[in-house]
Chains A and B, each alone.
Chain A
Amino acid sequence: MKNQRSGLVYSAPITLWLTLLFVVPTLIVIVYSFLKKGTYGGVEWIFSANGYNFFSSSYFLKVVWNTVEISVAATVITVLIAIPVALYIATSKYKNFLLFLIIVPFWTNFLIRIYSWIALLGNNGLLNKLFIKLGLEPHQFLYNKSAVILVSVYAYLPYAILPLYSAIEKFDFAMIDAARDLGASKMTAYSKTFLPNIKPGIITATLFTFIPALGSYAIPKLVGGNNSQMLGNIIARELTITRNWPKAAAISTILTIVTVAFIFTLSKYDKDHKGGDV
C-alpha cells in the first residue's frame, strides 16, 4: 500500500474542492481589493488602491474601534466567567451532567439565542412591559455597545468553557496543596501553579471567542445601535447596498490578515511557553 497514486486519489476531491471554493475566492477578493469600483457593483479591471483608502474616513476608524472594543471586552468577560465555571465542572462529581447543562442551550439556533434577548430586553420586551406595569419609565436596554457585548458573551461562552474544562481536568490539584505547604499564599498558589498549567486552555478559549467576535455580523445588526456597528456590518453594507466591491474586498482582506496574524502570534506564544496541545 502507501503507493503515491492512492494518496493522490484520496486527496484529490478535497484538494480540488477547497482550491476552487476557498483558495480561488480568497485570491479573487485580494485581487478585487486593488481594482476600480464598477458603477453598479462589481469592478472594472483598472488598478486602484481606492478600496484601501478608508483609513481617512473617521466613520470607518470608529467602526474599527467599536470592533476592537467589543471583541476585547466580550473575550475578557467570557474567559473570566468561563474559568471558574470550568473549574467547578472539572472538580465536580457530576462532570458529564453539568457539561450537558451548559451545552443544551446551544442546541438552539444561533438566531433564536439572539432573539431570546430581544424578547427579554427589547423595547417591547418582557422587562419593559414589567416596568410599565410597575409604573416605571420604559428603558432602552438594547441597541448599544453593552447589548452587543452581553449577547456576544452569551453566544460564545460554551466555546470558552469547553477548552478550559479539558485543560483544567488534566490539572493535578495536589500542586496547589504542595505550594501551600511550602508557604505560598492561596493567591500565589493559584497564580503560580494553576494558571500556568491551564494556559493552553485559556489560549484556545480566547481564540474561540475573539475570532468569531471580530467577524460578528448578526449580533451587532440585531441588538446593536448606530454607534455599535462592527466591521462585518460595513463589509455587508459595501457589498449589498453601497455596492463598493473593492472596499468590501479590502476590508475582508485586512480582516483575514489580522485573524491569521492573531492566530500565528498566539500559537507561537503557546509553543514558546511549552503549552500542551488542545
Chain B
Amino acid sequence: MNKKTFSLNMFILTLVFLYLPLIVLIVQSFNSGMGGDWDGFSLKWYDELFNHSARLWTSFKYSIIIALTSAGISTAIGTLGAISLKWYTFKHKKYLQIISYLPLVLPDIIMGVSLLILFTSIKFKLGLITIFLAHTTFNIPFVLFIVLSRLHDFDYSIVEAAYDLGATEKQALTKVVLPNLMPGIISGLLMSITLSLDDFVITFFVAGPGSSTLPLHIYSMIKFGVSPIINALSVILIAGTIALAMSTKKIQKYMV
C-alpha cells in the first residue's frame, strides 16, 4: 500500500512542521542564555515574566475582562437570534441571515478598518469599550451558527408538549428550550472566549492608547525582537490553554 506510506509520511512531516517551532520555544524558555548556546537550565525568564512584567499582566487582565464580557453578551444575543431564525418567521429574516453570515467570511482586517472609521467619525473614544464592542460584533455570528447547528437536532415536540401543558411562552423558553440547548450555548460561549482572547487584527485597529490587550502587548514585544520572556510566556499560554481545554472537555461531558 504505497498510498498509505505516502500519507503516513506526510502526516509525520506535518507533525514535525507544526510542533518544531513550539518545541524550540519551550526549550529556549529554560535556557539561561539569550540565544542558540545552551548556557544551562534556568527559570530566570519565568521570574522576569511573573515578577517584572507589570504591563504584560495589566494587558492580560484587560484581555480576560473583555473576553468574559463580550462572550457573555454575544452568547445571549446570538442564542436568541438562532432561536428566531430557526422557529420564527419575520419580515427581515433574509436580511438577518445575510448580515450574520458576511462577518464570518470577510477578512478580519475589513471589520477592524470599518469599526475604526465608525468610532472615529462619531468621535467615540478608542479604548476598552470599543474593543468590547468590536469583539462582541465578531463573536455574535459564531455563537449564532453554533447554536443554530445544535437547533437542527432539537426535538421541537418537547416545546409543543410544554405549551399543551399550559406553559407560557416565557416558561417554555426558560424551562424547556434553554436548558436543553445548554451544551450548544456553552460551546458558543467557549468559542467566543477563545476568539476574543486570540484576536489581534481587529483589536489592533480599535484599541486606544493605554488599552492594550495581551495579543497587542505580545505584538509590541515581538516588534522589539527575539525576547526570552516571550518564550516563557508562550510556554505558560500553551500549558494554560491545554489545561483549560482538557477541563472544559470534562465539564462539557458532564453537561451533555
Contact = CB atoms under 8 A, between A and B. Distances in A.
Interface of A: 1-2, 4, 6-8, 10-11, 13-15, 17-19, 21-26, 28-29, 32, 41-42, 81, 84-85, 87-89, 91, 98, 101-102, 104-105, 107-120, 122, 124-126, 128-130, 132-133, 154, 157, 186, 190, 207, 211-212, 214-218, 222, 232, 235-236, 239, 245, 248-249, 252, 255-256, 259-260, 263
Interface in B9-58: 10-11, 14-15, 17-22, 24-25, 28, 35-37
Interface residues of B, number: 90
Contact of A120 (B21, B198, B237): B21
A215 B238 contact: no
Interface string B121-151: 1000000000001101100110010000000
Interface in B95-109: 95-96, 99-100, 102-103, 105-109
A215 B108 contact: yes
19 contacts: A1-B159, A7-B84, A7-B89, A11-B90, A19-B99, A22-B102, A22-B103, A32-B117, A87-B7, A88-B4, A111-B222, A112-B25, A116-B234, A119-B24, A126-B24, A126-B36, A129-B36, A133-B36, A215-B107
Nearest to B115: A25
A189 to B, nearest CB: 10
Nearest to A245: B117
Nearest to A129: B36
A255 B112 CA distance: 13
B230 interface: yes
Interface string B166-208: 0001001000000000000000000000000110110011000
The DSSP consensus for interface residues of chain A is helix
Contact of B137 (A18, A190, A236, A263): A18
A13 B140 CA distance: 11
B10 to A, nearest CB: 4
Given A19-B99, A126-B24, A28 B118 contact: yes
B3 A108 contact: no
A8 B107 CA distance: 30
A2 B88 contact: yes
Q: Main secondary structure on chain B at its contact with chain A?
A: helix
A66 B49 CA distance: 38
Contact of A4 (B7, B18, B89, B214): B89
A1 B169 contact: yes
A125 B226 contact: yes
Nearest to A7: B88
Given A14-B80, A84-B11, A256-B110, A118 B218 contact: no
Given A22-B99, A88-B10, A11 B117 contact: no
A118 B226 CA distance: 7
A211 B223 CA distance: 25
A46 B3 CA distance: 63
Contacts of B100: 14, 18
B116 A239 contact: yes
B99 A98 contact: no
B38 to A, nearest CB: 10
Given A14-B144, A259-B106, A88 B8 contact: yes
A275 to B, nearest CB: 17
A22 B245 CA distance: 31
Which of A112, A130, A239, A255 gathers most chain B CB within 10 Å?
Answer: A112
Looking at A21, A85, A91, A125, the one whose CB has the most chain B CB atoms below 10 A away is A21
Contact of B231 (A15, A111, A119): A119
B219 interface: yes
Interface string B231-256: 10110011001100100000000000
Contacts of B121: 28, 42
Nearest to B27: A126
A264 B198 CA distance: 28
B22 to A, nearest CB: 6
Nearest to B241: A107
A87 B11 CA distance: 9
B66 interface: no
